[in-house]
């Protein structure tokens, strides 16, 4: 795929994420109840909206993932929020991996600063087992695992291994966020 199409795809993702972000910011939520009412406006599609938002925020990493986790737990409670966040973040992680495999370093450098790419490339080169490093990274809060999903695609990590690491590693931090933010209710 040529560079113009890559830029178009990336731009579309950014526009979608910015649209959702602007919609949320424009609401000027002044209470948990106000946010819950906003989400209720989506009706039965509200959980799907959160899942899509979470997937997109991984693919186009503009917002930290914990914000979506907080939104899910506040809007739907800790368990439903957890499942929406877990599914969305996992799907987004897998999409990011496959985007990097297909489009290579160009898409990674379009999403992340070269400085960040260089920093993590050096760290990962020093690690003895990238698989274990990635698994641990998915367990830890505030770790740049969105970047690592793309990076895993660049190094052509085995897709089944990557998917299992995401499935088994992602839920724990998301569950902790969901429980903590669920206490806000």
Summarised one tens digit per residue, pLDDT across range 44-82 is 888 998 898 888 888 887 766 777 788 888 888 899 999
pLDDT at 97: 95
CA dist 141 → 7, 29, 53, 66 (Å): 30, 25, 19, 8
Judge whether 171 and 86 are in contact, CB under 8 Å: yes
Count CB neighbours of 99 within 10 A. 21
pTM of the model: 0.81
Query: Which residues span the domain enclosing 37?
Result: 3-182
Query: Into how many domains does the chain fold?
Result: 1
Judge whether 12 and 20 are in contact, CB under 8 Å: no
Mean pLDDT calculated for residue range 16-22: 63
Tokens 């999403």 map to which residue? 111
pLDDT at 171: 94
In angstroms, the CA 58 to CA 93 distance is 6
What stretches of the chain adopt beta strand conformation (E)? none
Provide the pLDDT confidence category of residue 6 given band limits of 50, 70 and 90: low
- The answer, yes or no, to whether residue 12 has pLDDT greater than 80, is no
Count CB neighbours of 66 within 10 A. 17
Q: Buried b / exposed e across 120-143, counting CB within 10 Å, b at 16+?
A: beeebeeeeebeeebbebbbeeee
């Amino acid at each position: 795929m040529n560079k113009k199409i890559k830029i178009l795809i990336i731009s579309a993702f950014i526009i979608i994420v910015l649209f959702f972000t602007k919609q949320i910011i424009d609401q000027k939520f002044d209470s948990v109840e106000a946010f819950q009412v906003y989400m209720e406006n989506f009706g039965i599609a509200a959980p799907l909206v959160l899942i899509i938002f979470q997937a997109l925020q991984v693919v186009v990493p503009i917002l930290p993932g914990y914000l979506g986790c907080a939104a899910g737990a506040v809007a739907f409670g800790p368990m439903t929020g957890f499942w929406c966040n877990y599914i969305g973040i996992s799907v987004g992680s897998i999409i990011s991996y496959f985007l990097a495999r297909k489009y290579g370093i160009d898409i990674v450098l379009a999403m992340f600063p070269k400085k960040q790419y260089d920093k993590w490339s050096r760290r990962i080169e020093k690690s003895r087992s990238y698989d274990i490093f990635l698994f641990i990274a998915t367990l830890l809060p505030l770790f740049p695992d969105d970047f690592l999903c793309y990076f895993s695609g660049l190094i052509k990590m085995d897709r089944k291994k990557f998917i299992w690491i995401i499935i088994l590693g992602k839920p724990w931090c998301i569950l902790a966020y969901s429980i903590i933010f669920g206490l806000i209710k």
